[in-house]
Chains A and B, each alone.
Chain A
Amino acid sequence: MSKTMNKIVKFLTTAALATTLASGITLAAGGGNKLAKDIDFSFEGIFGKYDRAQLQRGYLVYKEVCAACHSMRLVSFRNLSQPGGPEFSEEQVKAIAAGFEVTDGPNEDGEMFQRPAVPADRFPSPFANVEAATSANGGAYPPDLSLVTKSREGWHFPWYVSPFIKLVKGGGGAEYVYSLLIGYEDPPHGEEKEGLHYNPYFSTQWLAMPNPLNEDAVEYADGTKASVDQMARDVSAFMAWASEPKMEERKRTGFFIMIYLGILSVLMFLVKKKIWRDLH
């Protein structure tokens, strides 16, 4: 089943690329940025699931690297232990949460106060508000990452193939995050722009965020080598989960419902046929 799916996907992609190249249309409708690299993430396809170990590693990368500037305000610590996610143990989540300070209050004196976070708390944001984040980052607001893989698309195809490719491959949000993270390179013709960095995967090719990942920027608990590629994959997978934390439950329910509904439809068809046959 999934093999056939893969074949269809491959065929469509190849066909699309062939037609596109043949007609000489720029791939990107947006601003001429490169198509995201197609990664085989574990959560793709009808039966796809998140890779727990990968999400746990991805969380570490997010926490150590991204969280310095980017918020993820829709995700709570408790989500880290819920089924279908990184599935840290509840004790681990408590320990993780306790490592953060959150603002609470007001207390009986009317003062806001700091306290260690508990699992029910949302991930604290690095800046108090959008304005503070913008001013601290040279006028470029580091976007919230709660929904980043659903709010970005990794690829654009011409209109006559795009609907089919997106149906089987999705929008490529996680692939976009991955590609962006590994995509920093020296600008062509030695061009330079003040405060901006060259990345062919970004919509305008120049973005304010400097290359965030260096070799061994984090130390994985499971001993995986923290190469830039590995970290980029892991953190993209983590963001995909953060964007769609109920995906596994949804697919599981869906599979059951489709089978049930399929059988019911066949039965209904037989009933209909029988009733109409008696008419003639």
Chain B
Amino acid sequence: MSGHSSYEFSNPVVKWLDSRLPIVTMVKAQAMDFPTPKNLNYWWTFGGILATMLVIQLITGIVLVMHYTPHVDMAFDSVEHIRRDVNYGNIIQKLHANGASFFFIAVYIHMFRGLYYGSYKAPREVLWMIGVAIFLAMMATGFMGYVLPWGQMSFWGAKVITNLFSAIPFFGEAIVTWLWGGFSVDNATLQRFFSLHYLLPFVLCALVFLHVWALHVSGNGNPVGVEVKSGQDTVSFHPYYTMKDLFAILVFLLFLFGFVFFSPDYLGHPINYVEANPLVTPAHIVPEWYYLPFYAILRSIPDKLLGVVAMFASILILFILPWLDTSKVRSATYRPRYRQLFWILVVVCLGLGVCGAQPAEGGWVIASRILTAWYFLHFLVFLPLLGLFETPKPLPSSISESVLAKQAAKSTAAAQPAE
């Protein structure tokens, strides 16, 4: 990432190493001295939280593979073997399963933070697009991972989702058979999903590396949305944001561990404790909660192909978001109309999540259709138009000015000198 040594090291070993491989310089420049806007709020800690979750998932995953057997006759029992017999196995397995959920909680907050503060706007388009790619990779990883315990929902989830590809004209059937390696989801499918579930996290790591690289080229955005203008606007990443991130990570882990230790099955489906049976479909097939909004979009459209297209489009649309939003102002703080739209979008996404969990009948279908329509209108119509008509509030001239103004406001409110 960084070129030659620009630091003077007193330790001869460090000096020797750094002149040959400037890794110490890189860490110092990129992870410690990196100038970071001083007004980042706690919504900005989710990047660090996500990195932590990725590490937790990798470690627990690698450990689980030491005990798991990817075979239709043994997969279910081997997961139970982990829960029942392996030392600390039930905690590690539950940490991995709940960790996936919390990974998605963090990524959704991270994404909505980006939407609220306009983090996708120039010069951070590529940073944002890599982020969307990370989200896609996460979804694929999570989906294949859910198949591995080989419960009823694993099996039928796999069957339904792979069947989406049968909607592709002409080649659909052939593609699905190819995905399955047979005429149904079976052992071949399980084994390839296992392989890919192990592979994709490393792709994720590579994407995360690119994401961080892009971040360090453009620098962090910030809640005000005004670019950094001078050293006055920034602080070094360490210790200011390392410590803040660590605190946020610990609090996040408190929630995660609360579920792992006291309600480990809350986020899962009971029916997945029944071994996969290709002859019996469960009464309600529901994906894990983090796919529900997309599942609702899929089901809201009565046409098979269009439903699949809409579902994928709802994610892919995020790739072109930087060019759909015509406003030059980044932060929703200074865009009153956009702020309203943003919160409506949050409610729409939550609503889609609720619809996705319900049986596709009656009012739920109508509700999903309205919400799906709103979702696409938001990105394709409202955002492009809003930038042309909205009058943003006046922006502060710099980050430090906004910070000082905030402090001044605070001290007048407290009717006491600040320091």
Cβ contact within 8 Å between B273 and A30: no
Which residues of chain B come closer than 8 Å to A255, judged between CB atoms? 261
Which residues of chain A come closer than 8 Å to B283, judged between CB atoms? 30, 203
Cβ contact within 8 Å between B266 and A261: no
> In the complex where A254-B260, A275-B240 touch, is A151 in contact with B271 (Cβ < 8 A)?
yes
Which residues of chain A come closer than 8 Å to B171, judged between CB atoms? none
Cβ contact within 8 Å between B273 and A150: yes
* Interface size range on B against A: 35 or more
User: Interface size on A (CB < 8 Å)?
Assistant: 42
CB-CB contacts of A231-262 with B at 8 A, as 1s and 0s? 00000000000010110011101110110011
User: In the assembly, what is the distance between CA of A118 and CA of B296, in Å?
Assistant: 52
User: In the assembly, what is the distance between CA of A159 and CA of B356, in Å?
Assistant: 11
> In the complex where A250-B90, A280-B407 touch, is A265 in contact with B251 (Cβ < 8 A)?
yes
> In the complex where A74-B77, A272-B243, A279-B240 touch, is A257 in contact with B261 (Cβ < 8 A)?
yes
Closest residue of chain B to A280 (Cβ to Cβ) is B419
Cβ contact within 8 Å between B90 and A246: yes
Q: When the two chains form the complex, which single residue of A243, A251, A275 contacts B243, counting CB atoms closer than 8 Å?
A: A275
Which residues of chain A come closer than 8 Å to B270, judged between CB atoms? 150-153, 171, 173
Which residues of chain B come closer than 8 Å to A279, judged between CB atoms? 38, 235, 240
Closest residue of chain B to A264 (Cβ to Cβ) is B250
A213 within 8 A of B: no
Cβ contact within 8 Å between A250 and B261: yes
Which residues of chain A come closer than 8 Å to B273, judged between CB atoms? 147, 150-151, 243
Which residues of chain B come closer than 8 Å to A257, judged between CB atoms? 257, 261
Cβ contact within 8 Å between B247 and A272: yes
Q: When the two chains form the complex, which single residue of B77, B84, B243, B257 contacts A254, counting CB atoms closer than 8 Å?
A: B257
Which residues of chain B come closer than 8 Å to A128, judged between CB atoms? none
Cβ contact within 8 Å between B265 and A171: yes
Cβ contact within 8 Å between A262 and B357: no
B360 within 8 A of A: no
What's the nearest-Cβ distance from chain A to residue B150, in Å? 13
User: In the assembly, what is the distance between CA of A30 and CA of B266, in Å?
Assistant: 19
> In the complex where A150-B270, A159-B354, A261-B257 touch, is A167 in contact with B263 (Cβ < 8 A)?
yes
Number of cross-chain contacts by CB at 8 Å: 91
Secondary structure call for the A interface:
helix
Which residues of chain B come closer than 8 Å to A147, judged between CB atoms? 80, 273-274
CB-CB contacts of B231-250 with A at 8 A, as 1s and 0s? 00001000110011011001
B358 within 8 A of A: yes
B130 within 8 A of A: no
B384 within 8 A of A: no
17 contacts between A and B (CB under 8 A): A30-B283, A147-B273, A147-B274, A150-B273, A153-B270, A167-B263, A171-B265, A203-B283, A243-B273, A245-B84, A250-B261, A255-B261, A261-B253, A261-B257, A264-B250, A265-B251, A272-B246
Which A positions have Cβ atoms within 8 angstroms of B? 29-30, 46, 74, 79, 143, 146-147, 150-153, 159, 166-167, 170-171, 173, 203, 243, 245-246, 249-251, 253-255, 257-258, 261-262, 264-265, 268-269, 271-272, 275-276, 279-280
10 residue pairs, one from A and one from B, having the closest CB atoms: A254-B261, A151-B273, A265-B250, A268-B247, A147-B273, A246-B90, A150-B273, A272-B243, A272-B247, A151-B274
